[in-house]
Amino acid sequence: MKFEKYNISPDLKRSIAALGFKRPTDIQYKAIPHILKGEDVLAIAQTGTGKTAAFAIPVLNMLHERRLRQRRSDGIKCLVMVPTRELAIQITEVFLELGRHLKVRSFCIFGGVEQEGQIDKLEKGIDLLVATPGRMFDLVSQGYLDLSRVEVLILDEADHMLDLGFLKDIQDVLRHLPKRRQTLFFSATIDEQIKKLAYSLVNKPIRIQISPQDPITKKVQHSVAFIEMDEKRFFLERLIKEHPADKILVFVRTKVRAERVLKAMQRVAIPALNIHGDKEQKERLQVLNQFKKGTVKLLIATDVSARGIDIPDVQYVINYDVPEQAENYVHRIGRTGRGTQSGYAVSFCSEAEKPLLKSIEQLIGKSITTLEIGKGDYQATVDFSADQRPDWKSLQEEMDAFEAVQRKKKKSKR
């Protein structure tokens, strides 16, 4: 069934067509009709399946029809709770793109920036709010945010919200919402805690589960290269130079590693950016925007950003460090192979990381294909690198200096 056949606003269909969407994905096909009927939905869908549009399309249609009848806004009608600032921004962008021709005003609020601009926007009146818990409760407690007229509550990336300790926030928000409402609950994974939370929020929900037996998309080709830790930067340099036109997202374990890899790439004249928790929100947004536009094609990120990065046309995800938690592998590689596109996930695995690789293979239920690197080829990659500073003593001195600056910044903030 094509989107043009759906019983939704012609103006919404215009936006859908302009974005190049013709047929719904599995999650959209299964969720949209039930959401349009006003039913509660509990959806388990891995990243990259199109779940944002699965709730954005029907909710925008419902709010648009209401505005046509009512003309004047009488408060926020839909609240979308998300775990991170980046995700809040990107989900709002989807609502704005799909709602371009509709009479629905969408906005997002999050911490890390001054609240005055957000307050001004709220006071002018909006219909749909995307929010992170911290800033949302700040503005509620100050009297700037009224949630008493919310008709639709959406929880996106619910499992990640629990990982970040937002369980109490999710439970507390119910005190500010009407008891009669539609609740849409989306999560990439399901366990007893997620199930308990979900059924405490939804009422006789329609349960939808996409690809429950396979946590990773089939549109991504997975491979692993066995490379020693101190030599990974040489192989990253080679891969980037062999694919100069491709967007490449590199995941590392810590913010220090993110800085170290960035400096290694800069030494071999490869333009790169990085993103991690120590960067100011304004800088993080600038970095994501440059990567999204393709101004810079290499982005180095920590796991805190894995779910917050929704960038089109990422051809390669490189696990420069094998993730310590197997679930993070799923979230990392979900940044490529999104929608109808295919992608590649390459893991650089050292001897010490082999147990972590085994855990990942157990989670995904299959072995990851090994990229065989001959001894001669391996040594040539190291020998012919443009990096003339292979000694880690000088690199460690750079990192010590970086950490000293970060400690000084934190001290000045306190």
The DSSP line for 117-132 is: HHHHHHHH--SEEEE-
CATH code (residue 189): 3.40.50.300
| Pair (264, 229) in one structural domain | yes
Query: pTM (2 decimals)?
Result: 0.69
Position 311 scores a pLDDT of: 80
| Pair (227, 203) in one structural domain | no
| Pair (151, 233) in one structural domain | no
Position 190 scores a pLDDT of: 81
| Pair (155, 277) in one structural domain | no
Token reading at 357: 């690789």
| Pair (62, 198) in one structural domain | yes
Domain final position from 186, 209, 232: 209
Q: pLDDT (tens digit, 9 = 90+) per residue, 104-114?
A: 999 999 988 89
Contact between residue 18 and residue 44 where contact means Cβ atoms under 8 Å apart: no
Torsion angle, alpha carbons of 78, 143, 88, 307, to 10: -110
Contact between residue 156 and residue 82 where contact means Cβ atoms under 8 Å apart: yes
Residue 249 maps to a domain: yes
Residues 295, 292: Cα–Cα separation, whole Å: 8
| Pair (275, 174) in one structural domain | no
Single out the residue of 225, 221, 233 nearest to residue 374, CA to CA.
225
Please list the ranges in the chain whose pLDDT falls under 70.
47-48, 71-73, 211-217, 305-309, 339-340, 388-414
Range of the domain at 173: 3-209
Classify burial at 112, counting beta carbons within 10 Å of its beta carbon; exposed 0-12, middle 13-18, buried 19 or more. Answer: middle
Position 400 scores a pLDDT of: 63
Residue 414 maps to a domain: no
Position 8 scores a pLDDT of: 94
Q: pLDDT (tens digit, 9 = 90+) per residue, 214-270?
A: 556 678 899 999 999 999 999 999 999 999 999 999 999 998 999 999 999 999 999
Position 238 scores a pLDDT of: 94
| Pair (266, 237) in one structural domain | yes
